[in-house]
Chains A and B, each alone.
Chain A
Amino acid sequence: MPALEDRLHQVMADETARLHAAPDLAERVIRSARRRRMRARIAALTGALAVAAATPLYLTAAPAAGPAPVVAETPAPPAIDDTPAPRSAPPDLGDLGDGKAFGHVKVGYLPPRLQWGHRSWDYGDVYSTSWNYDGDEHGPYCVHIMVFEDQAVQKLDDEVQGYRAEGEGEEVTVGGRTGYTVVANVGEDGGKGTPTLFLTMGERRRARIMLSPLYADDLGGAEAVDRELRRIAEGLTADDQPALGRRLAGD
């Protein structure tokens, strides 16, 4: 009997033999990249025009020195989009800059070296974003925060109640707020599970703070993982709540 590896190779060959890339794939990729570039230029031009429009006249009335200004041609209309529609993705939170303010919350602490991962999603009452080492939207995440508000709070509370009932995890108090930590199994591989801290942020808001199993390994032990989770939780504040630091300073 052939080795498993050989059988696997044969099965994978059989399974993929019918697949062939579309003949016009390169053209579609090039067109799509050009459209993206054009949109970025138009966005930049629109931004520049907005700034110019907001500039007082006396700042612009002086005779210009140097070469004559280049008049930008009106960009050609984008080509007809004949590429297949992308598969439906959840709406996102847009450009979050450093990612430390998203939705109705602010992140006061992140472990060193982490950058916003340029990835988020927003379902209204549940939204989230994540951070990783290089800010690459395709890269694996290190820290991921999901925020549950209003109607969604109950669902998260039910999940925490499930962990409590099974005796997994433990109650914690972080910066005067209650929470629950557990190593959750959300279907990820690469470790024993996902270290998670559920944080209560008032009656109508909860946060689920997760460290990826691989990042947890990088941190080097349960103690460091717990410490970082708590620090992140402690620094996480809501727009409609005074930050812990400000409250302490005022005490």
Chain B
Amino acid sequence: MSGTDQDFGAFVAARATSLLRVAYLACGDQAEAEDLLQTALERTYRNWHRVERDNPEPYVRRVIVNAAISRARRRAILRIVPTRTLPETPARSADVDLRHVLMDALRALPPRQRAVVVLRYWEDLGEAQTAEVLGCSVGTVKSQASKATAKLRTALGETSVEGVIGNARA
């Protein structure tokens, strides 16, 4: 095994589970998350000599999140080709506990809003870092985060005073 392969293997061993979780939250489907991660890692491996100088993780994360958004968009486009079979969507559980309500609401968000939520509240990235990953402005991140959290609050039934106060504080 070459030095490159060893370095790459060490990086994957250390970070792949964390990146898999990001991929899952970004796309909402485990099989697709595994595919996204493998795709992103293959691309990273091909560019390892350039990527390894800095921390490779932001690069992989950026590929994962943007690929998830891109795939979601392609699925949206395929929906307007009426004769084609849509990709399967994961079965929804009848369980109505908080976790399922929030995860269903997260899956229902448009892909870019979902990505903003994952990067901001799971990866704890700042607005500027999130904007950099998504290739958009900080203003877009702010507006997408605001819309996303409003929808999540609605899903939780927080449309009343608490939600208004929360939004006002934000």
A interface residues, Cβ below 8 angstroms from B: 1, 3-5, 7-9, 11-12, 14-16, 19-22, 25-30, 32-33, 36, 83, 86-87, 90, 123, 126, 128, 138-141, 144, 146, 152, 155, 159, 186-190, 214
Contacts and interface: CB of A to CB of B under 8 A. Distances in A.
Contacts, number: 145
B164 interface: no
Tier of interface size on chain B: 35 or more
Residue in A5, A36, A189 whose Cβ sees the most chain B Cβ within 10 Å = A189
Given A12-B121, A25-B16, A7 B73 contact: no
B80 A12 contact: no
Contact of A20 (B20, B41, B79): B20
Given A19-B21, A32-B42, A126 B12 contact: no
Given A19-B21, A21-B16, A30-B45, A87 B31 contact: yes
Nearest to B21: A16
Given A123-B81, A187-B76, A9 B20 contact: no
B66 A139 contact: yes
8 contacts: A12-B106, A19-B24, A21-B16, A26-B12, A33-B42, A87-B32, A123-B83, A190-B136
B129 interface: no
Given A3-B166, A87-B31, A138-B67, 16 more contacts: A7-B98, A16-B21, A19-B17, A21-B12, A21-B37, A26-B8, A26-B16, A29-B8, A29-B41, A90-B78, A140-B70, A141-B70, A155-B82, A187-B73, A188-B110, A189-B112
B77 A30 contact: no
Contacts of A5: 120-121, 149
Contacts of B162: 1
B1 to A, nearest CB: 9
